[in-house]
Amino acid sequence: MSGVLVMMEQRNGAWNRMSFEALAAGQQLAEHLGTECSAVVVGRNSGSLSQELASKKLKKVYAIDHELLASYTADGYLAALEQFVKQEAPDYVLFPHTYRVRDFAPALATRFSQVLISDVITIRYGSGSTGSPMFVRQLLQGKLNADYRHTSQGPCFVSVQAGTFRSDAVQEGTASVETFTPQLLPDQIRSKPGEPFRESSQSVDLSSAPLIVSVGRGIGEQDSLSLVEELAQALGAELAASRPICDNGWLPMERQVGSSGQTVSPKLYVAVGISGAIQHLVGMKGSKAVLAINKDENAPIFEIADYGVVGDLFEIVPELTKAVLAAKG
């Protein structure tokens, strides 16, 4: 096949929305390489999903179909995709960076003596000795960006961070659909799927809130949350948080913003004591304006902040609340 292959993730016939972001990345990569992009769906009877892809600008859509792939297992996906990639020999295999992909894709890459270039936030093209694309991923909680180039023989495996590419950039077109039936035996599947994890029902809809005050680990302890709650109240804003605050049970999970929480795009996002890890940024970088309060002037949150205050939140937040209340009269 050569070219670019994008694995589209589905569960029970419903797409994982990140799949289309990976597809946009795949189409863009193929365009820069002067090659074509194809897509693959793994599962059982995923015909309607593959038909949906037939209206995209793709060389081909592949449906990897087998009864042992009806539920996700790392063993099943690994064996099926290994056979498929061996047969089709794409140059690049792109995945959305989902929990499932984290589970099986590193092992898949290893089967081809490769590594998975995971959680990529940008693809750069053009310059460079080999002219091959440069994949950028973040290290050390977003403090460093590292560049990766694929130089070895064999396919290059890449997963794409949520929110990096726009799903509405996927180009329309036509593609033919082909079914691939892998050789799988029940003995190969060593795990048995349990009850699927259910997300907590979201009674708070942060996605439509115009003003959000979000609190991070810098707050130190649960008792200090009132400080930030008062600011949110004064502004008439919703209260949100980074993951450690929700993991600690200090605020309910439904108030978490980020890759495993809600995606928000308020007019103003006030980030209090939040470092700006990529998993948090992907949930709030669509905000129209960001005000960050952090005592570390090198915190990554300042890179995307429109307004930054370097200092101790315990001094700044009460003053800010006072000023807001005074302005309201």
Binding site for ligand FAD (CB under 6 A): 141, 216-218, 242-244, 256-261, 273-275, 277, 279-280, 283, 293-296, 299, 312-314
Residue of 299, 294, 323 whose CA lies nearest to 311: 294
Tokens of 323: 């000023």
Nearest position to ligand FAD, beta carbon: 258
The distance of closest approach from Cβ of residue 318 to ligand FAD in the complex, given in angstroms and rounded to an integer, is: 12
The distance of closest approach from Cβ of residue 95 to ligand FAD in the complex, given in angstroms and rounded to an integer, is: 15
Q: Report DSSP state, residue 190.
A: -
The distance of closest approach from Cβ of residue 59 to ligand FAD in the complex, given in angstroms and rounded to an integer, is: 32
Cβ contacts of 38 within 8 Å, gap of 6 or more? 1, 3, 4, 5, 6, 58, 59, 60, 61, 62, 88, 90, 175
The distance of closest approach from Cβ of residue 110 to ligand FAD in the complex, given in angstroms and rounded to an integer, is: 21
Of the pair 258, 266, the CB lying nearest ligand FAD is at 258
Of the pair 131, 220, the CB lying nearest ligand FAD is at 220
The distance of closest approach from Cβ of residue 240 to ligand FAD in the complex, given in angstroms and rounded to an integer, is: 9
Q: Report DSSP state, residue 280.
A: H
Of the pair 182, 283, the CB lying nearest ligand FAD is at 283
User: What's the rounded Cα separation, in Å, for the pair 71 and 84?
Assistant: 18
Of the pair 46, 275, the CB lying nearest ligand FAD is at 275
HSE value, Cβ hemisphere, 13 Å, CA-based, for 223: 0
The distance of closest approach from Cβ of residue 305 to ligand FAD in the complex, given in angstroms and rounded to an integer, is: 12
In DSSP terms, 92 is beta-bridged to 4, 156
> Which H or E run contains 186?
none
Of the pair 15, 314, the CB lying nearest ligand FAD is at 314
Distances (CA, A) of 165 to 49, 170, 213, 317: 21, 9, 26, 35
CB-based contact 61:53 (threshold 8 Å): yes
Mark 106-126 as b/e (b = at least 16 C-beta within 10 Å): eebbeebebebbbbbbbbeee
Residue 296 identity? D
Of the pair 97, 150, the CB lying nearest ligand FAD is at 97
Of the pair 62, 302, the CB lying nearest ligand FAD is at 302
The distance of closest approach from Cβ of residue 284 to ligand FAD in the complex, given in angstroms and rounded to an integer, is: 9
